[in-house]
């Protein structure tokens, strides 16, 4: 027995319970790093982990680790997990399925009487979503040691608070750099997640095995001008940064569509302007631009094209301009042995699987820097994600958990 029975009803009711710890009404979920709501969700989760007999610790960036001790604690553990933070007005499954599903996988193995040699650790990663500090995968970046102290010190939220100030307010102490893990600390990492795309549903397949994750990047462009009265400043006297921003938005769309590759995507997801009054010409405009591709070089060409277009747009308006690459990450590749463990578990569970690429990013991108990884995807309705109507059925989620449990069992045996 490698694939144990899973308590679908218990898991579903926990997902529904966690969905209600949110700053927006059900089924919308909003849980932003270290808000009062996020802290309540973390406490709720910790209690569940402890109820399963797991030993829980939190590191200096707020990652939560729950350990089920193996029969040989000296061996590197096998890890699973994901995130429970949620972007504004999101759904209840993104990330949560990997955390509560990971917990259910451990409980299923425990209840089936399994005693793995390696310990199994469930990780809830801090701030996979970039909402608060415009920096996704904060917790897993820190674990992988890929973020410098200078970069962390520059993080600011919308109120100008630093990460250290936000940590202090949340009661999370300690040296963030000390949270870094070493290669070899974990034997393997497997993340369960909803697909966030339509392919599994279209193929009527219950399981996706992720072989690679597309390379994400975030570019911030800031444009400025003198502003002024919307009635009094005549058109020939204007240097309107929002008009330049319109050209930038067009350029993102054009560059991504024209990259020559089906996998290039570009999005302006955040546009802020000041002073934001109907009778005032904007003085300052900020665009946060998300650009991704499975082909890193092509992604970088699009990034360069957008930067050049932003410079030209600012020039043609006589507007001020600056830009900053907030993150530019490479793609990540899954490990053949971890892929094999997932595929064997799928076969044993009688669940057909297909290999696929993840176009969304995940903490797995950074865990792959320190240990062998793979991901298990399950279908979600019409591929919808980052929306309140994101949905996977309890049965689809339970299938993913069975495969995860089987893979963990194999990797930890």
Q: Which residues bind Mn ion (CB under 5 A)?
A: 94-95
| x/- letters, 351..380, toward ligand GLV (CB under 6 A) | ---------xx-------------------
Instruction: List the structure tokens of 157.
Output: 């939220």
Task: Answer with the entry of ligand GLV, Mn ion, none that 361 interacts with (C-beta below 5 to 8 A by kind).
Answer: ligand GLV
Closer CB to ligand GLV, 91 or 241, in the complex = 91
Task: Answer with the entry of ligand GLV, Mn ion, none that 293 interacts with (C-beta below 5 to 8 A by kind).
Answer: none
Task: Answer with the entry of ligand GLV, Mn ion, none that 133 interacts with (C-beta below 5 to 8 A by kind).
Answer: none
Q: 221 has which bridge partners?
A: 287, 323
- Distance in Å, CB of 361 to ligand GLV, minimum: 4
Task: Answer with the entry of Mn ion, ligand GLV, none that 65 interacts with (C-beta below 5 to 8 A by kind).
Answer: none
Nearest to 90 by CA among 24, 21, 138: 24
User: Is the distance from CB of 221 to CB of 289 less than 8 angstroms?
Assistant: yes
DSSP 142-197: HHHT-S-HHHHHH-B-TT--BHHHHHHHHT--S-GGGGPPPTTSEEEEEEEEE-SS
Closer CB to ligand GLV, 38 or 129, in the complex = 129
Closer CB to ligand GLV, 70 or 266, in the complex = 266
DSSP 270-328: EEEEES--TTEE-SEEEEEEEEEESSHHHHHHHHHHHHHHHHHHHHHHT-EEEEEEEEE
Decide: is 212 part of the binding site for ligand GLV (CB under 6 A): no
User: Is the distance from CB of 205 to CB of 213 less than 8 angstroms?
Assistant: no
Closer CB to Mn ion, 68 or 135, in the complex = 135
Distance, CA of 200 to CA of 239 (rounded, Å): 49
Number of residues that bind ligand GLV (CB under 6 A): 3
- Distance in Å, CB of 83 to ligand GLV, minimum: 8
- Distance in Å, CB of 359 to ligand GLV, minimum: 8
Closer CB to Mn ion, 95 or 197, in the complex = 95
For residue 125, CA distances in Å to 35, 247, 401 come to 15, 37, 19
Closer CB to ligand GLV, 195 or 240, in the complex = 195
On the CB side of 9, how many CA atoms lie within 13 Å of its CA? 0
Q: Which of 59, 85, 129, 323 binds ligand GLV (CB under 6 A)?
A: 129
Decide: is 270 part of the binding site for ligand GLV (CB under 6 A): no
Decide: is 189 part of the binding site for ligand GLV (CB under 6 A): no
- Distance in Å, CB of 38 to ligand GLV, minimum: 16
- Distance in Å, CB of 400 to ligand GLV, minimum: 18
3-state helix, strand, coil in the chain (%, to 5): 40, 25, 35
Distance, CA of 348 to CA of 408 (rounded, Å): 13
Residues of this chain that bind ligand GLV (CB under 6 A) = 129, 360-361
């Amino acid at each position: 027995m490698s694939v144990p029975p899973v308590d679908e009803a218990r898991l579903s009711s926990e997902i529904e319970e966690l969905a209600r710890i949110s700053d927006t009404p059900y089924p919308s979920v909003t849980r932003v790093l270290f808000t009062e709501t996020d802290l309540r969700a973390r406490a709720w989760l910790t209690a569940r982990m402890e109820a399963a007999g797991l030993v829980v610790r939190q590191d200096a960036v707020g990652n939560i680790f729950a350990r089920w001790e193996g029969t040989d604690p000296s061996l590197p553990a096998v890890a699973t997990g994901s995130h429970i933070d949620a972007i504004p007005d999101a759904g209840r499954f993104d990330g949560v399925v990997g955390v509560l599903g990971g917990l259910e996988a451990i409980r299923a193995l425990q209840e089936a009487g399994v005693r793995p040699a390696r310990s199994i650790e469930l990780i809830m990663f801090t701030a996979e979503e970039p909402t608060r500090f415009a920096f996704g995968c904060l917790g897993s970046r820190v674990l992988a040691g890929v973020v410098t102290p200078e970069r962390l010190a520059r993080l600011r939220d919308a109120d100008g608070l630093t990460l250290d100030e936000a940590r202090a307010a949340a009661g999370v102490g300690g040296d963030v750099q000390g949270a870094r893990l070493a290669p070899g600390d974990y034997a393997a990492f497997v993340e369960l997640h909803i697909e966030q795309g339509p392919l599994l549903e279209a193929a009527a397949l219950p399981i996706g095995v992720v072989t690679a994750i597309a390379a994400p990047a975030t570019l911030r462009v800031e444009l400025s001008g003198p502003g002024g009265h919307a009635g009094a400043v005549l058109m020939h006297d204007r240097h309107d940064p929002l008009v330049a921003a319109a050209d930038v938005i067009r350029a993102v769309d054009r560059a991504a569509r024209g990259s020559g590759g089906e996998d290039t995507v570009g999005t302006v997801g955040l546009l802020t302007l000041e002073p934001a009054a109907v009778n005032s010409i904007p003085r300052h405009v900020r665009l946060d631009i998300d650009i991704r591709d499975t082909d890193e070089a092509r992604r970088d060409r699009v990034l360069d094209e957008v930067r050049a277009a932003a410079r030209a747009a600012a020039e043609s308006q006589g507007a001020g301009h600056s830009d900053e690459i907030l993150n530019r990450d490479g793609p990540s590749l899954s490990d053949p042995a971890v892929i094999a463990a997932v595929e064997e578990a799928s076969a044993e569970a009688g669940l057909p699987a297909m290999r696929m690429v993840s176009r969304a990013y995940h903490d797995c991108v950074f865990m792959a820097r320190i240990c062998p990884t793979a991901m298990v995807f399950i279908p979600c309705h019409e591929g919808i994600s980052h929306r309140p109507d994101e949905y996977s059925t309890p049965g689809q989620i339970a299938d993913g958990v069975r495969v995860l449990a089987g893979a963990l069992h194999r990797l930890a045996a």
